[in-house]
Amino acid sequence: MAKGSDGSRLANLNEWVAEVAALTRPDRIHWCDGSDAENEALVAQMLGDGTLVRLNEQTHPNSFLHRSDPDDVARVEHLTFVCTDDQNDAGPNNHWMAPDEAHAKMDALFDGCMAGRTMYVIPYCMGPIDSPLSRCGVEITDSPYVVANMRIMTRMGAPALARIEKEGTFVKGLHSTGELDPDRRFIMHFPEELAIKSFGSGYGGNALLGKKCHALRIASHQARSEGWLAEHMLILGIENPQGETHYIAAAFPSACGKTNLAMLIPPEGYRNAGWKVWTVGDDICWMRPGKDGRLYAINPEAGFFGVAPGTSKKSNPNALACLQRDAIFTNVGVTADNQPWWEGLDNGQQPAIDWRGEPYDPAKRPAAHPNSRFTVSAKACPSYSPEAENPAGVPISAIVFGGRRASLVPLVFEARDWTHGVLVGASMGSETTAAATGAVGVMRRDPMAMKPFCGYNFADYFAHWLSFDTPGAKLPKVFHVNWFRKGDDGKFLWPGFGDNLRVLEWMIGRVNGTAGAVETPIGALPSADDLNLDGIELGDEALCKLFGYERDGWSAEFQAIGDYLAGYGPRMPQALVDEQRRIAGSLA
């Protein structure tokens, strides 16, 4: 039981914990304090029962491997529900279930599910403990693996409990791995109750309830009612040679290079000139208008839960540097001497055991699952910004949308104004990746990269975005990027990785009014001369497709965007419909 200064502000928490214990019937209850001693005891317990495997202490001290059930390796969007009183409030972008029905279904699953297990009570804070932008939650779980990950990913334990006592409010999250049966697996969100119930999965986004469930699905609902934005965005700072730092928030669907961009290392010429990139966050961004009219952002997370495959010295040396100690790896392979290994890791090692614990056979399966993960403290990143702990957040100069588009979409363009920028975000599309179950490589609309994560009707969400354009607001410029444009030979036309800074530099120039652009119906595009391309060679096809636009293709795209917006019915903001029609007309 939690004990406060007078106990009254924690009565709500204690009553809820008692109710859950009566339902789930655990053998014991453990209130997590987040201490080193607690963590060491949990790790020892998991090493003893095989939940964790200790990795090579010489190469990766205090690092561990977890192998999840082979049927429990990614988000399960088809089993994820938003439960509002009115189905229209959840919108066509969410699977819906009536709250009473959802509670009854989940409580039947939770009935007695923790018998023989320990029930862990995890108080946590999303964001710096002393930030007014932060919000608290409590997750109840029977998984020590979840506790260990939540300790890395959130501000967990005694300080969070103290803030909950002070505020008296928190998001309630109840989780059990159950039997890991895919047919008895559901993730239910009750935004009107600030509550989450997740059963039958031990996978990150389904089980670490502070992450996607709280920080996006529930927080997006909170943000709408409280006048802020909870977004699936990285936050990075770009410091120029004059010592000025601009902060950029960028939304990409999972596994589309968010972590790589958040930890970008400038090309050699830029480094020599004095450019620096600072990592504030790699996945989630909470933004609120400041007194000066600008948007200020915090990263509500304290760690990285990143995709391992493809992470290498070439793609993301900062991420690789994070992972040399004090990390938890999930579903990666291991070498003969017990070092973590995944596809794309360019360290000269070879895998011996695959992610399922079997001898590696490339004809059978990859060594690491395509959605295998690492969990590590953000402070381990060489480019970590101390501003990530700033209670006031960082001012955002630009918002960037992007996804995987092999054709049509150029390297970068700038929205005409805020309304156009909201349309750019609302209509963005991407080819699907392994982060979610289902087919890979299918183009789908993923507004603001929030399709799996928005806790309410997208039409209302777009209206909420539009509402920030008020007199006196100094809103960020909005851009769209596509690092993944391909040529006729099927190869990428843009080098990507560190060279993406060349595009970000142009954006900052546009913010400052110093960079040129060509006005087109789809937005302002740079010419090749507007970007610093020193040190890279682009052929004629690349220059044409990266810096041009195809009128006929875009005309068809905007017809499809119109059909997409119409699918949300009468709640769709008229301003967005008018903007789509304006651009479609200019392309006709």
d(CA 146, CA 119): 11
| 259 labeled binding residue | yes
d(CA 293, CA 235): 19
Q: State how far Cα 532 lies from the chain centre.
A: 30
528: which 2 tokens? 């090749």
Catalytic residue among 113, 256, 381, 454: 256
Q: State how far Cα 70 lies from the chain centre.
A: 23
d(CA 306, CA 283): 9
| 499 labeled binding residue | yes
Which DSSP helix (H) or strand (E) runs through 221?
Answer: helix 219-226
| 135 labeled binding residue | no
| 420 labeled binding residue | no
CB neighbours of residue 147 within 10 Å: 24
d(CA 239, CA 244): 5
- End-to-end alpha-carbon separation of the chain, Å? 66
* 256 catalytically annotated: yes
Phi, psi angle pair for 359, to nearest 5°? -55, 135
| 103 labeled binding residue | no
The single residue listed with the structure tokens 């991420």 is 319
| 283 labeled binding residue | yes
Backbone dihedral region for residue 115 (phi beyond 0: left; psi -120 to 50: alpha; all else: beta)? beta
| 204 labeled binding residue | yes
Give the number of C-alpha atoms closer than 13 A to the C-alpha of residue 510, restricted to the C-beta side: 31
239: which 2 tokens? 């410091």
C-alpha angle 475-476-482 in degrees, rounded to nearest 5: 145
Phi, psi angle pair for 234, to nearest 5°? -80, 165
DSSP state of 12: H
**CA dist 227 to 221, 224, 288, 477, 512, Å?**
10, 5, 7, 20, 27
Q: In terms of Cα–Cα distance, which of 278, 293, 229 is closest to 469?
A: 293
β-pair type (135-141, 171-176): parallel
Which DSSP helix (H) or strand (E) runs through 479?
Answer: strand 477-481
| 373 labeled binding residue | yes
| 446 labeled binding residue | no
Give the number of C-alpha atoms closer than 13 A to the C-alpha of residue 325, restricted to the C-beta side: 6
| 232 labeled binding residue | yes
d(CA 359, CA 370): 17
Contact 159, 133 (CB under 8 A): no
Q: In terms of Cα–Cα distance, which of 454, 458, 436, 460 is closest to 218?
A: 454
| 25 labeled binding residue | no
372: which 2 tokens? 């295998």
Alpha-carbon torsion (174, 176, 180, 181), positive or negative: negative
Q: In terms of Cα–Cα distance, which of 66, 51, 42, 186 is closest to 118?
A: 42
Which DSSP helix (H) or strand (E) runs through 205?
Answer: helix 204-207
| 111 labeled binding residue | no
**CA dist 440 to 373, 431, 436, Å?**
18, 7, 9
| 75 labeled binding residue | yes
| 254 labeled binding residue | yes
**CA dist 102 to 76, 159, 457, Å?**
17, 32, 19
The annotation places the binding site for Mn(2+) at 212, 232, 283
Write out the binding residues. 75, 203-205, 212, 232, 254-260, 283, 371-373, 404, 497-500
Please enumerate, by residue number, every residue annotated as part of a binding site for GTP.
255-260, 373, 404, 497-500
Where in the sequence numbering do the catalytic residues fall? Answer: 256
Q: Which residues are annotated as a binding site for substrate?
A: 75, 203-205, 254, 371-373
